[in-house]
Amino acid sequence: MFKLNSIKPNPDNPRVATPEAIEDLKKSIEADPELLEYNQITYNKEKLIIKGNQRYKCLIALGYKEVPNDWVKDGSKLSKEKQRKLMIIDNTHAGSWDWKELEKWDDLELKELGIDVPELSSPEKLVRNKKKKISIEIKTEAKFKQAKSLINFFLSEGVDVGEILIKALREEKKK
């Protein structure tokens, strides 16, 4: 077994997590702790965590003092430059989601896995979690599908859909 108090969070870690994200990660760890074997916490020779700072914090919060050895990895052989790269690479997620494909998944399951899911399963839910919502009546199925598709696209690109809507409505009002 590996003693968690033998390593510590890296003060140079550039990633932060909201309390909600930490709670979601804790739930994920509680549900499937064995998955940590495949996404190990990696540390350097100074015993600072290179990869897995948030997972480490969640394990401590969940009362873990020791974990199986295959949940952690010694990254001491990596150069300082490679350690820095790994710290960033572990915290970036290139690409974007195929929201049409993700519609086949349960929203709650995706949220539990840490995915910020746009709530588009009904026409009343047009924005991401924790933000203000409005309800828009769309009269035809074809227009609803087109609007949903466009909203999914812009949300997956990180665009503020509300700002686009406000601009379009202001332009329409000027006419």
pTM of this structure: 0.57
Q: Report yes or no on 94 lying in a domain.
A: no
Q: Look at residues 69, 89, 109 and tell me which one is the last residue of a structural domain.
A: 89
CATH number at residue 25: 3.90.1530
Q: Both 109 and 138 in a single domain?
A: yes
Out of 39, 70, 89, pick the residue that ends a domain: 89
Q: 85 and 104: one domain? A: no
Asked if residue 112 is part of any domain, the answer here is yes
> 82 and 103, same structural domain?
no
Domain encompassing residue 137: 99-174
169 and 128 share a domain? yes
Contacts of 36 (CB under 8 A, 6+ apart): 29, 55, 67, 71
Which of 60, 89, 118 represents a domain boundary (last residue)?
Answer: 89
Distance of CA 160 to the CA centre of its chain: 18
- Judge whether 85 lies within some domain: yes
- Other Cβ atoms less than 10 A from the Cβ of 46: the count is 11
State whether 117 and 65 are in the same domain. no
Q: In total, how many domains does the chain have?
A: 2
Digit-by-digit pLDDT tens for the chain (175 residues) are 999 999 999 888 777 778 888 888 898 899 899 999 999 999 999 999 999 999 999 999 999 999 999 999 999 999 998 988 888 777 665 556 666 777 777 777 777 666 666 654 444 443 334 456 677 888 888 888 888 888 878 887 778 788 888 888 888 888 8
Pair 114, 149 in one domain: yes
Residue 116 maps to a domain: yes
